[in-house]
Chain A
Amino acid sequence: MIIFASCIILFLIGLYAIVTKRNLIKIAIGFALIEYAINLFFALVGFKRGALAPIITQLDTPHNFVDPIPQALVLTAIVIALGTTALMLTIILRIYNRYKTFDIAEIRKLRG
């Protein structure tokens, strides 16, 4: 249970970074933390203590396996997170080239 709770704490730390930090890179790091937290949570959902790797042999009963589906899903989620993080960093870099700053307070060109 503690380990699930720590996932949620990690999630909240990431959310805190996104909401309060003024540096664009730190916001991106906040997203990375949230993504880690969810992926970790997802992988733990399928985990069973003392269970086997999910490769079917004739000797094992099905109850002994770790659930393989969350692992496959996490793999997909990591790829998606890679895409978003890469795009986000590209845009941050472009913003930096224009404004020469990472500070969100100095970038406000759009009103409201």
Chain B
Amino acid sequence: MSFIPLFFALPLISAFLIPILGKIYKPLVWIVSTVVSFVLFILALYGIAVTQQLPMIVYKMGNWPPPLGIVMAFDSFSAFMVLIISIIVFTGSLFSLRYMSNYTGQWKFYTLFMLMTAGMMGICITGDLFNMFVFLEIAAISSYALVAFGVGAEELEASFKYIVMGEIGGLTFLLAIALIYAKTSTLNLADISTSLQVIRHTTFFSMTLGMMLFAFSIKAALVPFHSWLPDAYPAAPAPISSLLAGICTKVFGIYTTARIVFNVFGLTRANEPMVFNILIGLGLLSIAFAGLTALNQKDYKRLLAYSSISQVGFIMLGFGIGNYYGVVGAILYILAHGLAKGLLFLTSGSVVHATGTRDLQKLAGLGERMPTTAWSFRIGALSVIGLPPLVGFFAKLLIIMGAIKAGFIWLAILAIVLSVLSLAYLLKIESSVFMKKGKIDAKTAPFTMRIAMVFLVVLIVLLGIGFQPIIDFVVGPAAHALLRGLEYSHLVFGSFTTNF
């Protein structure tokens, strides 16, 4: 019995059990989703341990051999993504207990929450292009519904915008899949990668690649395609904003882009510098534009949403640099950003839960009333800005080192200058919400909310201090899995498949 299908089977099964269990005994819905996400976390740790020895584990659905049936290809990069998803899902679920008590129909929330988890897990471990699309749509449809969960005017409008943008992306991806299938007659990622090398320098090759990059840029909310995100994040309930900002755009946009560009199309900076320059361009544009826009925001969550776009730009920049340091930095940045931005959105949820407003001008003096929230915010913000002992610093440092090694000194300087922007906009929240003296009615955050925030704070600090083992055992192998490029297909076809 392999453990790999459990990653999406467990949340999928619990998503269908939750409505039934909710009818029997209401608190069960929360218990099920928290326990399942914790089990996923343990499984993800086990996955990391297993991928230390084996570069690739393949699970054949229905025991069909690779090019014919759907396979699940689990390598170090998948293991890494699965680990972060499970961390953010676990804290989000923990946080939801008290936060969602204001809403009705909680079982609907947890069902969608688990479906979204299943979809994201599926994207990260599948080895089949159409299967990837199906999981992408499962996760995307549940996230559209979750954004509209509050059914206020604002939520509905944000959700409609998100559907329109997201579906244009999803359908473009589907069209690209149809074109690739027409040319290669296969959907297996490994098989496609060998077939595509035959038609390497044709218009068809660049056209499908362009369509996919377009689709994933919408999903990742990179700057020219970002307009859905600043509406969608503030509208969603805080645990969902935390999940969307922390991990969703990374799985939908960044993971898929990295996997397709490096392993399926087999591109490297040496043989196709054009594509990587486009990634750098999109990254820089996102960092600069979203960072500057964030400075003007008056809404707590909207500011964080713009900050999120800007940080995703850094991740794209790392992949665009394309050498070992750049890719390691980008992958560590996914981890750092997932934890920090997940945490910042949880603090926003805690503030909203206590005061009922997200307006930066109305909020004041919460630093003394909500010490846990305030300190969680500070640690998270410092990690986003990139202060030395925290994990965000090492991620930024590696990306900048990658830029210098690749010979882009100007890019390194630009990245350092632009990261000052994050200091500016995060200080705005700090000064107006936590530092400013003022009176506003606020209760302290409930216990489970604080546990969720403290868990993430501890992770940010620990991973920062112990960043060397993290790079050696988790991030480094993940970067190698990507930089292996076309070797991916050899590993899938000739890989260890029994018992795992």
Is B231 an interface residue when CB atoms closer than 8 A count as contact? yes
Select A87's contact among B141, B151, B158, B293, beta carbons within 8 Å.
Answer: B141
Q: Mark A32-55, 1 if CB is under 8 A from B, else 0.
A: 001100100110010000000000
On whether the beta carbons of A11 and B160 are closer than 8 Å, the reply is no
Least CB distance, A11 to chain B, in whole angstroms: 7
| A-contacting residues, B124-179, CB 8 Å | 130, 134, 137, 141, 144-145, 148, 151, 153-154, 156-161, 163-164, 167-168, 170-171, 174-175, 178
Top-9 shortest CB links A-B: A45-B182, A42-B178, A80-B137, A110-B231, A98-B153, A95-B156, A94-B156, A38-B175, A91-B160
A94–B182 Cα distance when bound, in Å, is: 40
**Known pairs A87-B144, A87-B145 / 13 extra A-B pairs, C-beta < 8 Å:** A15-B168, A31-B164, A31-B171, A34-B171, A38-B175, A42-B178, A73-B130, A76-B134, A84-B141, A84-B170, A91-B159, A91-B163, A95-B157
| B-contacting residues, A70-112, CB 8 Å | 70, 73, 76-77, 80, 83-84, 87-88, 91-92, 94-95, 98-99, 107-110, 112
Q: Identify the closest chain A residue to B186 (Cβ).
A: A69
On whether the beta carbons of B174 and A70 are closer than 8 Å, the reply is no
A95–B161 Cα distance when bound, in Å, is: 12
Is B181 an interface residue when CB atoms closer than 8 A count as contact? yes
A28–B175 Cα distance when bound, in Å, is: 18
| A-contacting residues, B230-273, CB 8 Å | 230-231
On whether the beta carbons of A77 and B181 are closer than 8 Å, the reply is no
Is A27 an interface residue when CB atoms closer than 8 A count as contact? yes
Residues in chain A within 8 A of chain B (CB atoms): 11, 15, 18, 24, 27, 31, 34-35, 38, 41-42, 45, 67, 69-70, 73, 76-77, 80, 83-84, 87-88, 91-92, 94-95, 98-99, 107-110, 112
A80–B293 Cα distance when bound, in Å, is: 35
A70–B145 Cα distance when bound, in Å, is: 29
Query: 29 A–B contact pairs at CB < 8 A?
Result: A11-B175, A15-B168, A24-B160, A31-B167, A34-B171, A38-B171, A38-B174, A42-B178, A45-B182, A67-B185, A69-B187, A73-B130, A73-B187, A76-B130, A76-B134, A80-B134, A80-B141, A83-B141, A84-B137, A84-B141, A84-B163, A84-B167, A87-B163, A98-B153, A99-B153, A107-B157, A108-B157, A109-B153, A109-B154
The tally of CB-CB contacts under 8 A between chains A and B is 81
Given contacts A67-B185, A87-B145, contact A38 B178 (CB under 8 A): yes
Q: Identify the closest chain A residue to B185 (Cβ).
A: A67
On whether the beta carbons of B181 and A45 are closer than 8 Å, the reply is yes
A42–B129 Cα distance when bound, in Å, is: 14
On whether the beta carbons of A109 and B157 are closer than 8 Å, the reply is yes
Least CB distance, A97 to chain B, in whole angstroms: 9
A27–B167 Cα distance when bound, in Å, is: 12
Q: Identify the closest chain A residue to B153 (Cβ).
A: A98
Q: Mark B303-332, 1 if CB is under 8 A from A, else 0.
A: 000000000000000000000000000000
Residues in B neighbouring A83, C-beta threshold 8 A:
137, 141
A42–B182 Cα distance when bound, in Å, is: 8
Q: Identify the closest chain B residue to A4 (Cβ).
A: B182
Residues in B neighbouring A24, C-beta threshold 8 A:
160
Q: Identify the closest chain B residue to A72 (Cβ).
A: B130
On whether the beta carbons of B163 and A88 are closer than 8 Å, the reply is yes
Least CB distance, A67 to chain B, in whole angstroms: 7
A76–B133 Cα distance when bound, in Å, is: 10
Residues in B neighbouring A107, C-beta threshold 8 A:
157
Least CB distance, B139 to chain A, in whole angstroms: 12
Least CB distance, B255 to chain A, in whole angstroms: 20
Q: Mark B70-98, 1 if CB is under 8 A from A, else 0.
A: 00000000000000000000000000000
On whether the beta carbons of B178 and A45 are closer than 8 Å, the reply is yes
A39–B293 Cα distance when bound, in Å, is: 39
Select A27's contact among B164, B181, B230, beta carbons within 8 Å.
Answer: B164
On whether the beta carbons of B160 and A41 are closer than 8 Å, the reply is no
A27–B330 Cα distance when bound, in Å, is: 37
A88–B165 Cα distance when bound, in Å, is: 12
Least CB distance, B15 to chain A, in whole angstroms: 14
- Kindly name the residue among B134, B151, B175 whose own CB sees the greatest number of chain A CB atoms within 10 A: B175
Q: Identify the closest chain B residue to A98 (Cβ).
A: B153
Residues in A neighbouring B161, C-beta threshold 8 A:
110
Least CB distance, B227 to chain A, in whole angstroms: 8
A109–B148 Cα distance when bound, in Å, is: 15
On whether the beta carbons of B171 and A35 are closer than 8 Å, the reply is yes
Least CB distance, A69 to chain B, in whole angstroms: 8
A76–B159 Cα distance when bound, in Å, is: 24
Residues in A neighbouring B231, C-beta threshold 8 A:
110
Residues in B neighbouring A70, C-beta threshold 8 A:
178, 181
Residues in A neighbouring B171, C-beta threshold 8 A:
31, 34-35, 38
A94–B154 Cα distance when bound, in Å, is: 11
Residues in B neighbouring A80, C-beta threshold 8 A:
134, 137, 141
Residues in A neighbouring B185, C-beta threshold 8 A:
67
A38–B171 Cα distance when bound, in Å, is: 8
Given contacts A45-B178, A84-B163, A87-B163, contact A110 B157 (CB under 8 A): yes
- Kindly name the residue among B134, B137, B157, B187 whose own CB sees the greatest number of chain A CB atoms within 10 A: B157
Residues in B neighbouring A76, C-beta threshold 8 A:
130, 134
Residues in A neighbouring B167, C-beta threshold 8 A:
31, 84, 88
Given contacts A45-B182, A112-B230, contact A91 B168 (CB under 8 A): no
A91–B156 Cα distance when bound, in Å, is: 6
On whether the beta carbons of A92 and B134 are closer than 8 Å, the reply is no
A31–B182 Cα distance when bound, in Å, is: 23
